[in-house]
Structure 1
Amino acid sequence: MNEFNYEIVKNPEIFHENRMPAHSDHVAYKSLSEMTTGKTSYRLSLDGVWHFHYSRNVKDAPEGFWKNEYDTTDWDRINVPAHIQMEGYDKPQYVNVQYPWDGSEDIRPGEIPERFNPVADYVKLFTLPKDFKGEKICISFQGVESGFALWLNGKYIGYSEDSFDPSEFDLTDSLVKGENKLAVRVFKWTSSSWCEDQDFFRFSGIFRSVFLFAVPKVHVSDITIETGLSDDYKTASIEIKAATTGSGTMELGLFYKGEKILEGKIPLSASGLTTGKCDFEKVYLWSAETPNLYELYLTITDSRGVVCEVIKQNVGLRRFEMKNGLMLLNGKRIVFKGVNRHEFSHRNGRVPDREELIQDIVTMKRHNINAIRTSHYPDDSAIYELCDIYGLYMIAENNLETHGTWEPFERGVETEDFIVPKDKPEWKAMMLDRIDSIYHRNKNHPAILIWSIGNEAFGGEVPYAMSRRFKEHDNTRLVHYEGLFHDRRYNDTSDMESQMYPPVSAIKEFLKKEKKKPFICCEYTHAMGNSCGGMHYYTDLTDTEPRYQGGFIWDYIDQSILKKDRYGNYFEAYGGDFYDRPNDSNFSGNGIAYGDRTPSPKMQEVKFNYQNISVEFDKNKFKVINKNLFVNTSEFDARLQLLANGKEIYSKAIECDVKPLTSKAFTIPGEVTLAIRDYETGYNLTSGALEFVLIVSFTLKESTLWAEKGHEVAFGQTVLKKMVKPYKCSDKLTVIRGKNNIGVRGDEFSALFSVMAPGLLSYVYCGREMIEKAPAPNFWRAPNDNDTGSKMQQRYAQWKIASMYPCITGKPDSEMWFAKVTEGKNSVKIDYRYYLPTMPASECSVTYEVFGDGTIETTMKYDAVKGLPDMPEFGMIFKFNADYDHLTWYGLGEQETYEDRKRGGKIGIYSNKVADNMAKYLVPQECGNKCDVRWARVTDFKGRGIEFTGDNISFSALPYTPHELENAMHDYELPQVHYTVVRCALQQMGIAGDDSWGARPHPEYRLPEGKKLTFTFRFKGI
């Protein structure tokens, strides 16, 4: 056997030596009883502690460490599987498009860094158990980043690149009795690293499991299971193609929920390809809605009838096809309600455990997500099986991204020759090999509907050849690729049009011109930080444009890593926090789930926009629209709920039988009208509002794998009736006009207003001072990540200045402005004019009208000035003592809502702690807002505090001001909590989300520019 030649690491045409062919991910057991344990004696795990040595580059790496006489006793120890960067060697580096060596070494595609290119050397000593025997003993590395050489007992075994597909080698001829020395040299960057420029942390090492496997004399090395369905879906077929060695028999049994569907025996073929096909009539279709799985058992016996292998494979019956420009699943037009998902754990990097995988899938199912795109590489095999079982569609993506080669070309700083793989023959074999690997390992998973050749790798002959290779392998699935958007020469590379972050208008325009292909957004609604505003424009389009068949949110989980700050407290770290240079900062924080896998507030909106049942109201009727492809609404419990000012006064289960992909109108029961009438009769409405809200809700009838009985899957709501009477108060009050201040007193309160200083100086209720600082006009919010990307700070900077430095003493070097006092019969008004230091200068006014019960009605007005832009927010800001740390509100909840992200908010009364409104976005930013608030109370633990009321106000209660949030790049940089900061606003502009590098909130979700603004609300001690 040849020795390892380091030069192949730099050669894109040599990407493996002596590696075994790829095969299906089935598991073989020695017996049926062994299968029930879930552990096969044909495998011997090598996971655990290995000897380890780290070097900055290959020149510094120990020579000959693989030899038996080389003693590694004094080496470090490392866990396998793990990234070396998560074990204290090298450091995590997050970059998006740019290559991690950019600016450090000047290299061209195919070349590798030499000065800094960490080398990880591993040694594992093992002794084979006596009962671990086979015709061959092989080793499987499920994932090594990015290339490695392998030795056993001093003999060179082989080499492999491709970080995310298994690499397997035959060790048989190099094994010895007793102790064996396995040595592995891992290179962080190889020539193939140019094709692994995904948007993620850059790691290296043996990061997936390693195991030995024994191959019996009679053996199945690969299985291909193909199913067929008649056009009426009443009969089915199953065809098995098995790569076999030895002579004997393959017995098969197909079961559904314990019932035997068919059985048979097939003699093993001497040709090495054993095939068999059977038809059957008991058809239970697989889909995300009904993930019905058959169990196929294959028992392999030798010529004497001795069982050699038992294999179990889940089988899903489904037909996925393109017909008349539509993607159809089992004959129905499918809509992907998907997410892109990086394989990531904030504890272990790209090494999540099974519990974390299940948590992801359960969370997705609970929030109506029906599809995953494995961005942008094959995941560990377990996720595919779990998607089969739980019911999630998959775009299975190949390990390819070369964004950093063509982006410089499009910017004009590189030539077209810099792009790979494009049309370059030297990259073709590597790319086709990766297609073979992903296909063969994952081909038997019904969850996979679409193969993807990769991500953001431009177009060309090589991507087209990759697409054709998928077609050669598989005629039951479609092929996806977005990169041809940049190079249309091979437009048939993708079966569907796929684009990233197009405006809805662009999708409509494309589909007007292109009549053959359906359209999906392989990435959309960029969920960086506080985002996903306007997502509904995309999901609504699936209802009106048949050939727009959904999309995949970017992305599912924040790629953040737990790290300790200088005081020993863990925080979620991102690019740059590891002194990694270059880096792309917090651009890794795009998840609708936080790094700890809990849902972020964005998930509430995703759940609503993705729900498969919607409700529309019209006068005394409501229409239920069932968007499920296969499930009747009768499979769920349906209930009407009537709220009066947020409190339930009526509830009733209803029969709701709406067939899939149909709708039905229902009349609102007369009991609802009676309940409203009865409540009105007993309710003495003297002032304020009485509002009746009707909610139609659908919940699980029975518990499932992913949620308990009663879990809500969909809802609709409407305000049925609302009565409003103006606020009135006849309580007496006393006004004291001082030289510098105006005092107002009632039986339970006193207020003090300055004549020349900014506004309300004191508000004492029941003997307690309520405010820490005079309320002030506010026009600013802490920029979210989308704001930063769209240069909001530069566009609106003067509104920040206006919020920080409003002045009631008049314009500089001009007349003084004084508070104006107007006494009425039962109230007194104090008017202030604020000079705002904008360009051009502007003004706003604030009027406080004080009533005898302590209520202060506040009216804020702004007359637009020509030449000034719209503003981020229009409202007032208050500071209270931090002891007022409880929030209760009647409005949309229970998560934060914004003008362009409030569909998922349900009307009701909600409570939390003020600190709970600090969303855990990677960078502190605007968060915690509540839309359509009727009233809100900020109180201490005894329930004492202050109540705000108004007409659908925008309300926020946080421990920090917008400026404090804006000044921090991490949570630990925020100051100690001293206040509860309340912002009560007419409106805050939307948070946007079409992308995070330029897209602003849609105009309809911005405050009107050039128009007069008026905002009125009341507050009162309680």
Structure 2
Amino acid sequence: MFHHRFLCLLMIVGLPINPIQALDQPVELENPEIFQINREPARCSGIPYATREQAKTHQIETSTYYRLLSGSWKFHWVSNSAERPEDFYKPGFDAASWVDFPVPGLWELNGYGVPLYYDTKYPFGTPNPPYIPAEKNPVGSYLTSFSVPPEWEGRQLFIHFGGVKSAYQVWVNGHYVGYTENSFSPAEFNITRFARTGKNTLAVQVFKFCDGSYMECQGMWHYGGILRDVYLYAAADVHLADYFLRCDLDEKYENARLFLTARIKNYTDLAVRGVQLDVELVDSHGKTVQTDPPLTALLPQLATAGESVLDMTCHVERPALWTSEQPNLYQLFFTLRDSRNRPAEIQECCFGFREVELKDAQLLINGRPVKLKGANRHEHLSTSGQVVTYASMVHDIQLMKQSNFNVVRTSHYPNDPRWYDLCDRYGLYVVDESNLESHGVNGILPKSNPQWREVSVDRLNSLIQRDKNHPCVIFWSLGNESGSGENFLIMRDYAHRIDPTRLVHYEGYNQAGDINSRMYATVERIIQYGKEKNEKPLFLCEYALGNGNSCGNLKEYWQAIEAYPSLIGGCIWDWADQGLLKEDENGRMYYAYAGDYEPPEHPTDANFAFCGLLFSDRTPTPKLWEVKKVYQYVAMEAVDAKRGLFRLHNKYNVTDLSAFDLDWSLQQDGEELQSGRLDPVTAAPGASVLVKTPFDTSHFLPGAEYWLRLSVRTRKDQLWAAAGYEVAWEQFLVHRSEKPFAPAARGRTPAVTKRDGQLTIAGKNWRLIFNQSSGLLVSYQAHGREYLHSMPDSAGGPRLNLYRAPIENDGATAQLWREAGLDRLSSRLCNLEVQSSEGLVQIHTHHLYQ
């Protein structure tokens, strides 16, 4: 207890401290009330730029004040934390024997440890929170160097870690900087007093597990390592440390009130006067938008080492609104000026005007009811695990948009910040989830335990502060499968207090959420909910489990969801298979699941990693084509198919059907016969329109089948697809007639013979043979050719089969089939009867199957 107070005192007075070590592990590793030391307050994404031209790119890499540290670092790994090096951070340490290791990079995928996949279990064994057995806690120690350019002299220097799994300590030039936990949220440290112009040494020690690991029991691969970029940035001594943008639309959802809260920090030893913040709003065409009043604020005085919060507001006339269908973005430029009106710092942010509401148990975006068509998405690549590339994110979001998705749930942790930028640009709503899943111990923590309260709120706060300016985020999710308790109510209230513009989601304890959320509710159950009078809408945060080769009754789900206003949609589990590319003993590559790595002492959760709409190589499974069809935004029905009359219903929220081309094609027995493009049609969201296809029926043939296919295609290029991309389709039977069938001419009655246990029926150029013991057809010959091929232990003819190879979705049902003997069904002939008359022979058999 004294140690904890000592740490807090040192943090308050701002003195550098060295961690006090326990025998085998740092004490903060097993104390949920110490989850950070010297970490900077969580803030929004973005860094300072030297010029407006740099800021305009919306790419931090273009900033003069940015240095990427990711790359090849020196690395040392131990499987037992008690064996870790404890003095490696000191100047002069010889790391020549250490290996070169990629950052970002995961230990297990680079030869250190074994990848383990768990759903509800903990990789370090029997849970005993908050303790972690040292002998099961691997540690990776890193060393690298970086250079501070001379032009950064006099600025504040920060180091940014995008994500590290799961706890780590940081030193610069031998000085202890700090400690933090939380694998998927960024952490920043001010290293100004430790760094120097020129060459510097950075040391990082990463522990795979800590007390926070009890809150990271997600169903996924569990790795150790640095999984996102590490970089430096330099800020002015008077620094725009954080800002929060939000808006409120008027009753007609036409005009907006823009609100800005900015936090300005003075790092100097002097009081600063006359600091001014100017904010410019620019539309997608690069034109400055006039606000009323202009967004400008003057700080008369900023105290020594002090901080000031500015609240600003203005009226924006008829902004272009942001939705998933029309993601209109604005860019804001923040210029912090000194008392002489000189730019001291420039920052930027992309922003979308949109409003999220609940009314009459419906979800409204900009005043219009929205149905959420989505999937859960883990960050995973088959070659690098949770280290994901920008190209893979672009690939994912393009496939989602092409497949009619409008929402993604970041299951079950904050994603790479670049993903949110893409969702803003492409138009994808986000259920943004905090890194909190205590699945294996959710009956113990966080519950209402005050010891786990602050860390739970901190994880939520890290999420909100980083992502609060993204219009794509519509729900803050408190976590996943972590039970119930007062701590979730406190988290909910905290989210409402700092951001009243978004809804709070939490499945499993709906008292803590603004919406009711369920996992895997049946179609019957959600229909019952839709019929009931509920104050909250129902969201299926997980449904239509995608293991095996199907998502199940997806069509029936959406028939129900579209029939009842209080059913607002859901997210399929899940987006992509999480296989790892692995080489077998013959040198062949394949996609491995947990069992392919499983050591005897670590039984894993088998192949549960394979539930995706994409294969592990990120190519679509057949399931995705079904989802795209069910999720499509244009419904089509036949009014009079033979006359070519059809009705189109627009299920988009803001897009008129005039944005699309409508193609048709007529097929005769699978071959295209006629095709064309209809004149443009107009139908507002929620409206319908009749169309007539001008196909010619004069050449229809007897016995042929004619199907008409209607196709809705993008008229213009989209960010996610070229013009002409098909977003919806339907197929209609237009005409089918039976081909006249001429009865066979009566002839001689086939000959019937019985010999050597066989019953033979023969005619001209053909012969059938039945086994008299089994009653089964064993041979069919015509014109000298045999059409049934029997095996020594199996007749070639038809027999009753009530079994098939089980698929993943059959689960326990397949075991019931086997218990009933359906996989080894045998038959016994009870009776065989032959009837012969003029030109006709009939064989009747009676079998008993058991």
TM-score (norm 1): 0.73
> What SS does the aligned partner of 1:115 have?
helix
**Counterpart contact for 2:531–2:564, Cα < 8 Å:** no
Match of 1:542 in 2: 561
Give 2:321's aligned amino acid. Answer: L
Q: Distance in 2 between matches of 1:824 and 1:285?
A: 81
Give 1:652's aligned amino acid. Answer: G
> What SS does the aligned partner of 1:779 have?
coil
Q: Distance in 2 between matches of 1:662 and 1:765?
A: 63
How far is the alpha carbon of 1:100 from its aligned partner? 2.2
Confirm or deny that 1:567 pairs with 2:586.
yes
Match of 2:416 in 1: 380
Question: How do residues 399-548 of structure 1 correspond to structure 2 at under 5 angstroms?
Answer: 399-406=435-442, 418-484=443-509, 491=511, 493-548=512-567
In structure 2, relative to structure 1, the CA distance for the partners of 1:101 and 1:750 (3 Å cut) is farther
CA offsets, 1:178-204, max 9 Å, x none? 432211111111111111111111111
Q: Distance in 1 between matches of 2:841 and 2:379?
A: 62
**Counterpart contact for 2:36–2:180, Cα < 8 Å:** yes
How far is the alpha carbon of 1:291 from its aligned partner? 1.0
List runs of 5+ in structure 1 lacking aligned partners.
Answer: 407-417, 486-490, 839-1022
CA offsets, 1:772-827, max 9 Å, x none? 8625433322211221244545466522112xxx55xx45xxx7x779697985x9
Match of 2:381 in 1: 345
In structure 2, relative to structure 1, the CA distance for the partners of 1:744 and 1:262 (3 Å cut) is farther
Question: How do residues 977-1016 of structure 1 correspond to structure 2 at under 5 angstroms?
Answer: none
How far is the alpha carbon of 1:390 from its aligned partner? 0.4
Q: Distance in 1 between matches of 2:631 and 2:115?
A: 35
Question: How do residues 921-940 of structure 1 correspond to structure 2 at under 5 angstroms?
Answer: none
CA offsets, 1:882-915, max 9 Å, x none? xxxxxxxxxxxxxxxxxxxxxxxxxxxxxxxxxx
In structure 2, relative to structure 1, the CA distance for the partners of 1:769 and 1:138 (3 Å cut) is same
- Mean CA deviation greater in 703-712 or 611-620: 611-620
Confirm or deny that 1:255 pairs with 2:283.
yes
Match of 2:12 in 1: none
**Counterpart contact for 2:779–2:788, Cα < 8 Å:** no
Match of 1:242 in 2: 262
**Counterpart contact for 1:783–1:793, Cα < 8 Å:** no
> What SS does the aligned partner of 1:214 have?
strand
Aligned match for 1:137, one of 157, 164, 175: 157
In structure 2, relative to structure 1, the CA distance for the partners of 1:537 and 1:784 (3 Å cut) is same
Question: How do residues 897-936 of structure 1 correspond to structure 2 at under 5 angstroms?
Answer: none
Give 2:296's aligned amino acid. Answer: I
> What SS does the aligned partner of 1:173 have?
coil
**Counterpart contact for 1:624–1:658, Cα < 8 Å:** no
Match of 2:184 in 1: 164
Q: Distance in 2 between matches of 1:424 and 1:692?
A: 67
CA offsets, 1:350-405, max 9 Å, x none? 11101111111111111111100111110010111100100011111111111211
How far is the alpha carbon of 1:80 from its aligned partner? 0.6
**Counterpart contact for 2:80–2:139, Cα < 8 Å:** yes
Aligned-residue RMSD, C-alpha: 2.9
Match of 2:731 in 1: 717
Percent identity over the alignment is 32
Match of 2:9 in 1: none
Match of 1:869 in 2: none
Aligned match for 2:719, one of 699, 705, 709: 705
Confirm or deny that 1:2 pairs with 2:11.
no
Match of 1:334 in 2: 370
Give 2:777's aligned amino acid. Answer: G
**Counterpart contact for 2:803–2:817, Cα < 8 Å:** no
CA offsets, 1:433-481, max 9 Å, x none? 1121111100000001111111111111101111111101111111111
> What SS does the aligned partner of 1:164 have?
coil
Match of 2:777 in 1: 759
> What SS does the aligned partner of 1:498 have?
strand
Q: Distance in 2 between matches of 1:651 and 1:367?
A: 25
Q: Distance in 2 between matches of 1:366 and 1:392?
A: 12
Q: Distance in 1 between matches of 2:478 and 2:491?
A: 6
**Counterpart contact for 1:390–1:706, Cα < 8 Å:** yes
Confirm or deny that 1:100 pairs with 2:120.
no
Aligned match for 1:590, one of 588, 611, 622: 611
Match of 1:320 in 2: 356
Confirm or deny that 1:205 pairs with 2:205.
no
> What SS does the aligned partner of 1:22 have?
coil
Aligned match for 1:653, one of 663, 677, 680: 677
- Mean CA deviation greater in 454-463 or 172-181: 172-181
Question: How do residues 179-198 of structure 1 correspond to structure 2 at under 5 angstroms?
Answer: 179-198=199-218
Give 1:574's aligned amino acid. Answer: Y
CA offsets, 1:240-293, max 9 Å, x none? 322224635435242232333237562553453344333222421111111111
In structure 2, relative to structure 1, the CA distance for the partners of 1:746 and 1:12 (3 Å cut) is farther
Q: Distance in 2 between matches of 1:252 and 1:241?
A: 15
In structure 2, relative to structure 1, the CA distance for the partners of 1:421 and 1:196 (3 Å cut) is same
In structure 2, relative to structure 1, the CA distance for the partners of 1:280 and 1:28 (3 Å cut) is same
Q: Distance in 2 between matches of 1:334 and 1:324?
A: 13
CA offsets, 1:937-969, max 9 Å, x none? xxxxxxxxxxxxxxxxxxxxxxxxxxxxxxxxx
Match of 1:216 in 2: 236
> What SS does the aligned partner of 2:87 have?
coil
**Counterpart contact for 1:338–1:369, Cα < 8 Å:** yes
Match of 1:393 in 2: 429
TM-score (norm 2): 0.88
Match of 1:310 in 2: 346
**Counterpart contact for 1:134–1:215, Cα < 8 Å:** no
**Counterpart contact for 1:393–1:449, Cα < 8 Å:** yes
Q: Distance in 2 between matches of 1:729 and 1:347?
A: 64
Match of 2:621 in 1: 600
**Counterpart contact for 1:754–1:819, Cα < 8 Å:** no
Q: Distance in 2 between matches of 1:380 and 1:209?
A: 10
Confirm or deny that 1:287 pairs with 2:323.
yes
Confirm or deny that 1:622 pairs with 2:673.
no
**Counterpart contact for 2:573–2:611, Cα < 8 Å:** yes
Confirm or deny that 1:75 pairs with 2:98.
yes
> What SS does the aligned partner of 1:389 have?
helix
Give 1:87's aligned amino acid. Answer: N
In structure 2, relative to structure 1, the CA distance for the partners of 1:834 and 1:238 (3 Å cut) is same
Aligned match for 2:75, one of 52, 72, 86: 52
Q: Distance in 2 between matches of 1:718 and 1:512?
A: 32
Aligned match for 2:296, one of 263, 266, 272: 266
How far is the alpha carbon of 1:540 from its aligned partner? 1.1
Give 1:203's aligned amino acid. Answer: Y
How far is the alpha carbon of 1:237 from its aligned partner? 3.0
Match of 1:996 in 2: none
Confirm or deny that 1:149 pairs with 2:181.
no
Q: Distance in 2 between matches of 1:429 and 1:745?
A: 89
Q: Distance in 1 between matches of 2:751 and 2:687?
A: 62
- Mean CA deviation greater in 30-39 or 635-644: 30-39
Give 1:4's aligned amino acid. Answer: P
> What SS does the aligned partner of 2:811 have?
helix
CA offsets, 1:534-570, max 9 Å, x none? 1122211122211111111111111211111111111
Q: Distance in 1 between matches of 2:472 and 2:837?
A: 72
Match of 1:864 in 2: none
List runs of 5+ in structure 2 lacking aligned partners.
Answer: 1-15, 21-25, 267-274, 303-307
**Counterpart contact for 1:699–1:712, Cα < 8 Å:** yes
Q: Distance in 2 between matches of 1:28 and 1:741?
A: 91
In structure 2, relative to structure 1, the CA distance for the partners of 1:28 and 1:362 (3 Å cut) is same
Q: Distance in 2 between matches of 1:363 and 1:821?
A: 62
Q: Distance in 1 between matches of 2:239 and 2:767?
A: 89
**Counterpart contact for 2:656–2:682, Cα < 8 Å:** yes
Question: How many positions carry a matched residue from both structures?
Answer: 796
**Counterpart contact for 1:453–1:463, Cα < 8 Å:** yes
